Amino acid sequence: MNRILLVAALLLRLISVNGQSVERYSLIPRPAQLEPRAGDFIISRTTTIGVPFAQNGLKAIADTLASHINRSTGLALSVRNVTKMNQPDNLIEFAPSVDTTLGDEGYRIDATDRLITIEATNPKGFFYAVQTLYQLLPPTVLATSHAVPATNLTTLSVPACRIQDRPRYSYRGLHLDVSRHFFSVAFIKRYLDLMALHKFNNFHWHLTDDQGWRIEIKKYPKLTQIGSQRRQTIVDHYDEYDPQVFDGKPYGGFYTQDDVRGVIRYAASKHINVVPEIEMPGHAQAALAAYPELACAPGPYQVATKWGVFNDVFCPTEKTFSFLQDVLTEVMGLFPGKYIHIGGDECPKVAWRNSAFCQQLIKREKLKNENELQSYFITRIDKFVTSKGRRIIGWDEILEGGISPNATVMSWRGTKGGIQAAKQRHDVIMTPGQFCYLDHYQGNPAQEPTAFGDYLPLSTVYAYNPTPSTLTPAEATHILGAQGNLWTEYINNTDQLEYMIWPRAAALAEVVWTPLNVKNYDDFSRRLPVHFERLTTLNVNYARTFYDVSFAAKPTAGGQVEVSLSANTQVPTIRYTLDGSVPSGESPRYEKPIILAQSTTIRTAAFADRQPISQPAKVKNEYLVSKATGKPYTLLNAPTRGRPDKNYSLTDGTTGGMGGYEVAGVVSFANDINAVIDLGQSQSVRSVRVGFLKYTARNICLPRQVAIAVSEDGKTFQSVSMTKTNAAEGGKRGFVRLSFDFTATTARYVRIVAYNVGRVPAGLRNPGKAAQLAVDEIEVH
């Protein structure tokens, strides 16, 4: 089924707000003020776009608007000099304003059935007004080929309204890491197109890191000859396999300086500033592979083939500073914006502590420790960049050891660093991981592509307020805005990249543009389906986790499992299957909790008019029903505090899961597992099955042996099974459900003892470390 048709099916169900259907004004980000009006401005062959040609920059914006409309409709709208023509009956007019309340980026749109007037004081304002106009038009106007027949143009209309708008924040950013995985110039331009549609104005281009140096530096050709290439790349998630697995394939890529100039020109046409990032003093392994003399130890070094933080960093020698100044001189010659991002994050101090040179430098400069040495490093770079008329941005680690005087802080480790910097009167860009890291999961990890870890749903992004309430009004003026970050360790293609960005970046666009008192998630949710149609028209591979179905399960008093399903208010119908098959329009419609009398796999999908609107349902939620389901038990050895037992979770019928570095639904033990289950009455038992987590990269091993015993009174137990297991088993992490069968016997109590191996066995990643056991469910049959 065509995705446009799927979204269209949902649009038919849109409700009315304030007497106007939501689809008339489904604008993202929402304007500061919007006054709905009756009627529509119809675009036809008689429509003229009028612009005062004498105003610099306006004709190019109007030409682009005409081009979009003409390309998608087959019309031939003309752009004319408004000062040299009589006003026609069907006019879109660009009218420069002197109203300073609009600011450089603000605008007004006044649309009636005969005239659309766009007012702004600056080309930026006119540009953003046109982005709003695109969203007032049908989504098909964004198509790259004829989408609206030229003979049926009554559908190409702008709803009458009056809009007055300006952004809440001056810095509205999206970031892209091209060091871990490289993306073409053509894709970067597409990325900028989507940023512009959502009124973002800063593109943070992360160009260097341990896994690749991606920008040509003429004076140091080995940076791209050597530093842009790695010999192989780790497969899947960092902890997916133990030992880790690599693909054995060389990987590389870089941007020439002509490439960079082309991107900057293109971004400027979208009123987007490009902020380059050259990492220092850490995340330098690719540079050190090319020029090992810049390190504290001789090397050799290689471009990193896996992710993480590495101890090899730039050594603060004069040779290093000369190198970095040369690099930054070429970078500043390419990038005209005022900001140069110099990283400053995740710089281990091991190499500096072991370096006689660094220890002498600390004494010579009267520094207290290596943290102050990092401040010394950043301050020297800051003075150089400032001397060139630019300003540095650094991640919030640059606060450690004393902040460089002219630095702007990018606060990523929560909001604490941003608050600290703002109180010190430093400018701040907020980008805390819990709200702005778009490489985190946005839905059920079992349904999602591999992500870094953690959980950042659309609603959480939207809920973010970049200005902390603890700041005074004067301090709050230093919060320039916010930025969404996309790190690409686990993103190696453009489809997955767009999936991770959209629609969460649309939510962030509203966070940084729309006044706080106008933001409303329910209203955003009602506008989102139309916005999905725009993204579909643009062939964007956006995530549809917005329509995901949530599960809640609990055991019943009768030993069954009750499963409840739910979704947001924009989901008309939930359909499900109980046999593991993909739900269709003919599958049962969810109306009340599902009662499971046996182990069952449930698969769900959101539907509108029998058409699926959620992502293809690959998630199979498994629920286990046995004689132990809902039964109480006693743990003779206490679980760890990190993953405690909650509400008899080992017999609640639900299985565990994992995504990224996270594990859900397990109980962990630092010693043996010793559990006694009370079945409530004597009955025949013949098998026990235990779901153990094997996650040896995190020291969670299988047991070395499992003993099963039964009892009638809970005091005297009879052994029925003693089984050795392979505690040294590595490989792919996951849940291993081990069955322990024995001759059928009558019992009320069942005891399960799983013996911890004690230490992680040899051959695994962390041999000799204290081992743990982790369990998600115990079944008795």
Pair of tokens at residue 507: 């939510």
Give Cα separations from 260 to 207, 275, 284, 334 (angstroms). 11, 12, 21, 7
Question: What mean pLDDT do residues 489-512 have?
Answer: 98
* pLDDT in the model for residue 224: 98
Residue 129 to residue 113: CA distance in whole angstroms: 18
* pLDDT in the model for residue 221: 98
Residue 189 to residue 176: CA distance in whole angstroms: 12
**How many Å is the Cα radius of gyration of the chain?**
30
* 3-class state of residue 266 by DSSP: helix
Q: How many CB atoms lie within 10 A of CB 329?
A: 14
Classify residue 627 as exposed, middle or buried by CB count within 10 Å of its CB (0-12, 13-18, 19+). Answer: buried
* 3-class state of residue 594 by DSSP: strand
* pLDDT in the model for residue 208: 98
> Into which CATH architecture does domain 33-165 fall?
2-Layer Sandwich (3.30)
* pLDDT in the model for residue 447: 85
609 Cβ neighbours under 8 A, 6+ residues apart: 9, 12, 13, 572
Q: Provide the mean pLDDT of the chain.
A: 93
pLDDT at 129 over 60: yes
Query: Which has more pLDDT, 635 or 1?
Result: 635
**For the chain, domain boundaries:** 33-165, 171-513, 546-623, 633-780
Q: Rounded to two decimals, what is the model's pTM? A: 0.94
Q: Where does the pLDDT of residue 269 fall: very low under 50, low under 70, confident under 90, or very high at 90 and above? A: very high
Q: Where does the pLDDT of residue 112 fall: very low under 50, low under 70, confident under 90, or very high at 90 and above? A: very high
209 in catalytic set: yes
Pair of tokens at residue 218: 């003429």
φ and ψ at 735, to 5 degrees?
-90, 130
Strands in 643-772 per DSSP E: 657-659, 662-664, 667-669, 673-694, 705-711, 718-724, 731-732, 734-755
Residue 323 to residue 291: CA distance in whole angstroms: 10
435 Cβ neighbours under 8 A, 6+ residues apart: 456, 460, 461, 463, 464
Residue 591 to residue 394: CA distance in whole angstroms: 52
Pair of tokens at residue 379: 């301050």
Strands in 28-155 per DSSP E: 33-42, 48-51, 78-81, 91-96, 107-111, 115-120
Half-sphere exposure of 243 (CA within 13 A, CB side): 5
283 in catalytic set: yes
Bridge partner list, 33? 164
Confirm whether 33-165 and 171-513 share one CATH topology: no
pLDDT at 772 over 80: yes
Question: Taking phi first (over 0 means left), then psi (-120 to 50 degrees means alpha), and beta for anything else, what does residue 354 get?
Answer: alpha
Strands in 43-114 per DSSP E: 48-51, 78-81, 91-96, 107-111
Q: Which amino acid is at 780?
A: V
* pLDDT in the model for residue 162: 98
633-780 carries CATH number 2.60.120.260: yes
DSSP structure string for 515-561:
-TTT--HHHHHHHHHHHHHHHHHTT-----GGGPPEEEEEE-TTS-E
Q: Where does the pLDDT of residue 15 fall: very low under 50, low under 70, confident under 90, or very high at 90 and above? A: very low
Classify residue 454 as exposed, middle or buried by CB count within 10 Å of its CB (0-12, 13-18, 19+). Answer: middle
Question: What mean pLDDT do residues 751-778 have?
Answer: 97
pLDDT at 11 over 50: no
Q: Where does the pLDDT of residue 149 fall: very low under 50, low under 70, confident under 90, or very high at 90 and above? A: low
pLDDT 10s digits, 407-442: 999 999 999 999 999 999 999 999 999 999 999 999
Please state whether beta strands 48-51 and 78-81 pair in parallel, antiparallel, or not at all (unpaired). parallel
Report the run of H or E that residue 62 belongs to, with start and end.
helix 58-73
Catalytic option among 209, 427, 498, 548: 209
Q: Cis ω on the peptide bond leading into residue 503 (within 30° of 0)?
A: yes
Bridge partner list, 722? 707
Give the right CATH number for 171-513 from 3.30.1370.100, 3.40.190.10, 3.20.20.80, 3.40.50.740.
Answer: 3.20.20.80
Report the run of H or E that residue 778 belongs to, with start and end.
strand 773-780
546-623 carries CATH number 2.60.40: yes
Q: Where does the pLDDT of residue 146 fall: very low under 50, low under 70, confident under 90, or very high at 90 and above? A: low
Catalytic option among 259, 330, 346, 678: 346
Site of tokens 């739910």:
566
Report the run of H or E that residue 292 belongs to, with start and end.
none
Query: Which has more pLDDT, 57 or 478?
Result: 478
pLDDT 10s digits, 336-376: 999 999 999 999 999 999 999 999 999 999 999 999 999 99
Classify residue 177 as exposed, middle or buried by CB count within 10 Å of its CB (0-12, 13-18, 19+). Answer: buried
Pair of tokens at residue 640: 């760890």
pLDDT at 17 over 80: no
Catalytic option among 204, 283, 426, 531: 283
